[in-house]
Structure 1
Amino acid sequence: MPKPSYHMVKGAATAVAPYSHFVNYGDLVFITGQIGMTPGNDKKPIPKDIETETRRTMENLRIILEGAGLTFDDVVASRVFLTHFERDYERMNAVYKTFFKPGHFPMRTCIGVTALARGGKLEIDFICARPKKAAKTKARKTARRR
């Protein structure tokens, strides 16, 4: 049975709670939920419009994917949390889908919630499958926790 390894990614948004940016477990990689914070400037307000917040959130996820040696092609599952589901769902989707190849979307659950960290309107997390060819590739730009 594999043991999990816990990682933080240099250049990713600052952790707002006690968590790892990603956890490796066998060929699976679990990426913690990201919000629309600006890496390197966690005091900057989260964007007010859902399109910009979605783009920033997906870019934050890209930083972690790259730190884990992965891409959006490796995402197999996604959870999306929205505080204003009815208002923001379609506009969020319009941006979200641009990060994936057409027809290669991960399975997804989208959930309406009452609040998110730092006043965000959106949070997204991923589960990824590490490709066999990259299974031995070392994760880049990470600091491993013990």
Structure 2
Amino acid sequence: MTPRDVVFPAGRQALYERNRYSPAIRSNGFLFVSGQVGSREDGSPEPDLEAQVRRAFENLNAILAAAGCTFDDVVDATVFIVDPEAHFERIWSVAADYWGPAPHPTLTGIGVTWLYGFQFEIKVIARLPQGADH
């Protein structure tokens, strides 16, 4: 079996190792990114919803950059929102700053009741630039 080709963003490897999962795996020309939340460096949530969403996208972008990608390379996104009826508009107004112009990635939105103290999570699949698949 080939070992997993893990991508770690700078400065957060200990957080992922402590929680026993990989932030992203390169495979067959794609980057599969674990769900990203608005966690601070120590793993705690940003208390403000908009700040939490911004931090989730910044954490996501750090992983994409570590693999040589940007959000423009994202082909599929899944978002998880606690109480989407109450939070969707506020979250989506912030997400627009990171989403970029059309054509947009595919999207699945899921309402959940609990995200370990967070209100928003995003996971993506991105196309790796030519030569970036190890």
State how 1:1-146 maps to structure 2 within 5 Å: 4-12=4-12, 14-15=15-16, 17-39=19-41, 41-42=42-43, 45-117=44-116, 119-130=117-128, 134-137=129-132
Alignment gaps of 5+ in structure 2: none
Distance 1:21 1:3 in 2: 15
How much has 1:138 moved relative to structure 2?
7.0
Distance 1:104 1:56 in 2: 24
Distance 1:125 1:66 in 2: 15
Runs of 4+ in 1 over 4 A off after TM superposition: none
User: As a proportion of its length, which structure holds more helix?
Assistant: 2
- Work out whether residues 12 and 64 of structure 1, in 8 Å CA contact, stay in contact via their aligned partners in 2: no
- TM-score with structure 2 setting the length: 0.86
- TM-score with structure 1 setting the length: 0.80
Q: Kindly report the root-mean-square deviation, in angstroms, between the aligned alpha carbons of the 2 structures.
A: 2.1
Alignment gaps of 5+ in structure 1: 140-146
Distance 1:36 1:83 in 2: 13
Matched residues, number: 131
Q: Aligned residues: percent identity?
A: 32
How much has 1:7 moved relative to structure 2?
2.9
